[in-house]
Each structure stands twice: as structure tokens, then as C-alpha cells.
């Protein structure tokens, strides 16, 4: 683990997540929201973000598999676990760890739009916009990052390092 280099400290993450939560609270002013976390990477971000949102909020989780482990993403996305309830008429915020090629969120957005939500927005902790294949925009972004592989704060490399409190770069 000593070869990992810290990119964002736990304090930097906490400060930025608090700002995102405050922004969401202002944007939805008094309306209920449903946060949908993309398992497993977004679990920690969702738990911190939700506690910075001062609105009536519910959680749901979705799980997709991207056919390819570790650093490679083949580009194909398959639903492993869908939402438990219909999102019809709800203010849905899809909560994701990283917006990378955009394939995962484009796929999920299409599926959720079919539920006819009242609104559908994306909150991504990190955005690697240089890697985008599918044009997709997140309304709430924690940090823009360069094309590097990162772990920690929920994010993994072959399922390891999710429990690191800081976000680190894998060399």
C-alpha cells in the first residue's frame, strides 16, 4: 500500500462532499429526493453525501457489471441488480463514484428515464472527462481528475482498497 500516492485527503473529500450536499439541498428546496447509488464504488460517497443533504431523502441501489475486472472496461454493461421500486414522478439523483468513459451512466440513465421520473440528475464524485466515449454530463461533480487510476473512498483495484479514507493514485 505504500506505493499509493494520495490525490485527495479525507479532509478535502469531506469539504467537497459537504458543498455538493448543500448545493443539492438548495436546488431541490424542500422537495423529496431519491438517491440511487451504483454499487459498490459509490456506497461511501452516497453515505456521506446523503448526510449533507437536508431534505426528505430515500435510498436505492443499483448494480451493474462491466464485463472486465481491474483496470480494463470492455464497454459492455449488464444490469445485476435493478432498483427496488419505480422511480416514476421522483426526483432521482444517480450517485456514482467515477464518471469515466460514460458508458455505465449512459446505460443507467436510459433505463431510469423509462421510469418517467420527475427529474433525473447525476452526482459523480470524480470526473475523468478526458476518457469520455459517451457524451454525458453530471450536474454535481466533486473533482475533475486526469486519466489516472484511483482507489479508496469506495473505489477499488481488483476489489481492494475500498476502505481507504483518502483517494489515492495507483501507479
Task: Just list the catalytic residues.
Answer: 100
Backbone angles phi, psi at 125, to 5 degrees: -65, -45
Judged by beta carbon, residue 28 or residue 138, the one nearer Mg ion is: 138
Q: DSSP H helical segments within the chain, as ranges?
A: 10-28, 43-50, 103-113
Least gap, CB of 99 to ligand IMP (angstroms):
5
Q: Is 37 in the site for Mg ion (CB under 5 A)?
A: no
Q: Is 104 in the site for ligand IMP (CB under 6 A)?
A: yes
Backbone angles phi, psi at 23, to 5 degrees: -65, -45
Q: Is 37 in the site for ligand IMP (CB under 6 A)?
A: no
Judged by beta carbon, residue 53 or residue 97, the one nearer ligand IMP is: 97
User: Near ligand IMP by CB under 6 A, which window of 2-10, 18-26, 44-52, 95-103?
Assistant: 95-103
Q: DSSP H helical segments within 29-167, as ranges?
A: 43-50, 103-113
Which cell numbers in the block locate residue 113? 428515464
Q: What are the distances in angstroms from CA 146 to CA 36, 67, 73, 103?
A: 26, 24, 17, 18
Contact residue for Mg ion among 21, 37, 41, 152 (CB under 5 A): 41
Interacting residues toward ligand IMP by CB under 6 A: 41, 66, 73, 96-105, 149-151, 155
Interacting residues toward Mg ion by CB under 5 A: 41
Amino acid at each position: 500500500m505504500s506505493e499509493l500516492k494520495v490525490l485527495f485527503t479525507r479532509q478535502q473529500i469531506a469539504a467537497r462532499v459537504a458543498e455538493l450536499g448543500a448545493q443539492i439541498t438548495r436546488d431541490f428546496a424542500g422537495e423529496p429526493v431519491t438517491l440511487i447509488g451504483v454499487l459498490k464504488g459509490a456506497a461511501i460517497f452516497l453515505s456521506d453525501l446523503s448526510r449533507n443533504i437536508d431534505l426528505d431523502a430515500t435510498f436505492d441501489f443499483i448494480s451493474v457489471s462491466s464485463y472486465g475486472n481491474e483496470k480494463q472496461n470492455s464497454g459492455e454493461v449488464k444490469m445485476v441488480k435493478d432498483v427496488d421500486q419505480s422511480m416514476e414522478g421522483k426526483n432521482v439523483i444517480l450517485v456514482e463514484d467515477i464518471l469515466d468513459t460514460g458508458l455505465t451512466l449512459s446505460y443507467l440513465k436510459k433505463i431510469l428515464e423509462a421510469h418517467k421520473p420527475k427529474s433525473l440528475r447525476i452526482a459523480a464524485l470524480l470526473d475523468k472527462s478526458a476518457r469520455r466515449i459517451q457524451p454525458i454530463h453530471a450536474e454535481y461533480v466533486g473533482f475533475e481528475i486526469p486519466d489516472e487510476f484511483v482507489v479508496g473512498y469506495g473505489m477499488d483495484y481488483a476489489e481492494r482498497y475500498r476502505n481507504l479514507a483518502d483517494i489515492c493514485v495507483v501507479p
